[in-house]
Structures are given as structure tokens and as C-alpha cells.
Amino acid sequence: MTDIRVRRLEDIGGFLSRWTALYRCAENPSFYQSPAWMMAWLGSTGSATLYGVEAEREGRILMMGVVGAGPRRPAVLGLKEVRLQETGEAALDDIYVEYNDFLTAPEAGADLRRDVIDALAREFADADALVFRNVRLPLAAAAREWASSGAWNCVTLQAQPVYVVDLGAVRSAGGDFLASLTGSFKAKLRRAMTGYEQRGALSCRVASTEDERRTAWERLAALHQESWRARGKPGSFANPKLVVFHEHLQRHAGEAVHLFEVRSGAETIGVLYNFVHESRVLNYQSGFKLEDDNKLTPGFVCHALACQYYMDAGFEIYDLLAGEADYKMRLGGQSETLTSLSLERASPRNKLRYLMKNLRR
């Protein structure tokens, strides 16, 4: 028999110790489930109300997760949501988890995700919705199957393709990333690189010393904010809670976090903020120099140089993460799909919400 426990997360150290032990043998874990990510996240959530979820059978922990269960927003008529690996507070959830799932042992069995969802629904009897953002196929399938057998509706909020560059395939085909691209895009990149070379030699590196990392982080923030402000938007680094999280992550993750800097001569034209997980490199954030000449495409140049760099270093996948974007579609190919789902109780509150939503249309 499987014992599923949902408890207020108070002993964070003990929970993380059990999480780390399960992570070492987990089935297909992601960087977003790594002990470093979880330590940084749990250390950044402040007063958020979090619960640890653990499923145990015969003394062996088979599945773990963390859910946020904040207050009803707005009070009285608002929704009460329980969210996997999120808090419900927008500023904190800008951290934006991907490849989301429960941390799962290989022997857990096909039904355990459904059993855990059922336990959450029973534990949070006053919740209007269980929200799973950017989840992989096994959890999305389990959520849909569970909802189909009960008094809950499964609403798909978003489905986003993941684009990746198969560095292993490029390596097998000769190891020249530019040569692997299509004709027009290849010409565009070569033209941009030539333009930068006229200013000064193109070079790239991963910041290695403490001083280099601090300087690269500051350049990333400055370039990112400059480009977003030019579009009339605040940019990610305007969110202090997001910045605190990533400062924690860099301390906990060490060499699994890369600040990849590209220069033309002495001038930095871009910084990529990447995560390293096994044979995979995940591009999480970026900052590029604004250029008046539209033939200079610093984003494409930086990603192309990063692909060549990481391929030469022996990595297999350069992961551009979820979401439709021109640069992702040009550089890589579609991999899996991450789905955001809301399991919504068939309650009077939700029925009223649907009615009001339809009246506004």
C-alpha cells in the first residue's frame, strides 16, 4: 500500500535531504528538479505557504513534489489555487519553471501520479483549482485521466513546443554548426559575423572566476534591461525577487550555471544565461546589445557561437526551452510539448466564474 502525505513544509532541510536522495535515482529528472534549483527556490519563497508531497511504499519514497497553496485571490469571490512548484505569487512565479513534474522513482508505477493528484484534491477540499504549469506528457496525461473520472474539469491553459538543437547530430555530420543551417539563414549569420569581425575579432567564453561571473551577470542584466526598456517593457531584472532567486541559484548550482559571454573585440555584444544538466545545455535568459544596423543580429550570432562551443565541448543538446519564437525555429527543431493545465472543481464558484467570463465576451 502507498502512503501519500501532504504536509506544511516546515522542515525544509529534512525535505531537501529526502529530495536529493530521490533525485539521484529518479526517472528522467530535469534541471528544474535538481537539488540546486529546489534549494534556491525554497530559499527565495519568503512567507509563501508551501506543502511537501511525498508518496512512500514499504519504506521507499517513490514520488515527491512541492505545491503552493496561497489565499483566495481576491478574497471571497476569488479563486483558491494549488500550484505545483509555484507559489501563486506572480513576482515569485516569474521564475518560470519548465519540464515540470513530480520527482519520480522508476518503480513508481503508472497510477501513482493520479493517486497523488487525488490526494491533493482531498487535502485541499476548499481549493477551486489544481494548476500544473509547463508539465511534461506523463503528468499531463495523468491529470486529464484523473479529471475524466471525477467532478473536475481539465482546462488546457497553454501548450508550448520546446525547440532544441541536436548537437550530437551536427557533430556526426561534420561538426560545423553554421554549415548545418539552411542557405538563407546561413548567409544571414555569416553576414552578421563578418560585420562584427570588422569591429574586432569575435570571441566567446564561459565566465569562470568569481570576478568574471559577477561582471558577466552585471552585463547580462544591463543588456537585457536596455533591450526590454526600448520595447516599453520592464524586463526580468526589474523584479527583485527574481534576481534574488538567481543569485541563490548561482551559489547553489556552481558550475551547472553558465554565463556565456560573446565579444566583438573588447565590446560585449551578448550574454547567455545557461543551465547545464547532464549532456544538455538549457538557455534560460539572455541580453544582447542594441544595434542600429539590422544586418547585425547579436542574438543569432551569440546562439550560433554557443552551439558550436557546446558541441565542441561534447554536449548533445542545446535546449532553447518552450515557446514559439523565430530564433528558436531557425536554430533548432521541435522536441516535446510542455502543457499548462488547470484541474477545476465543478463548484458553484467556478460555475459563476465561467458565467461571468462568457458574459464579458
Domains of the chain, CATH where assigned: 2-151+346-360 (3.40.630.30), 164-337 (3.40.630.30)
**Cα 183 from chain centroid?**
32
Nearest to 127 by CA among 68, 81, 67, 78: 81
327: exposed, middle or buried (Cβ count in 10 Å: 0-12, 13-18, 19+): middle
Which residues does the chain have with pLDDT short of 70?
75-77, 347-361
**Cα 314 from chain centroid?**
23
Distance separating alpha carbons of residues 249 and 290, to the nearest angstrom = 28
Distance separating alpha carbons of residues 195 and 178, to the nearest angstrom = 16
Q: Which residues contact 177 (CB under 8 A, 6 or more apart)?
A: 165, 170, 304, 307, 308, 311
Model pLDDT, residue 284: 98
**Cα 133 from chain centroid?**
10
pLDDT tens readout for residues 140-192: 999 999 999 887 999 999 999 999 999 999 999 999 999 999 889 999 999 99
Distance separating alpha carbons of residues 152 and 146, to the nearest angstrom = 9
Q: What is the pTM of this model?
A: 0.94
DSSP-assigned letter for residue 234: -
Q: Which residues contact 88 (CB under 8 A, 6 or more apart)?
A: 48, 68, 69, 70, 73, 81
Model pLDDT, residue 358: 54
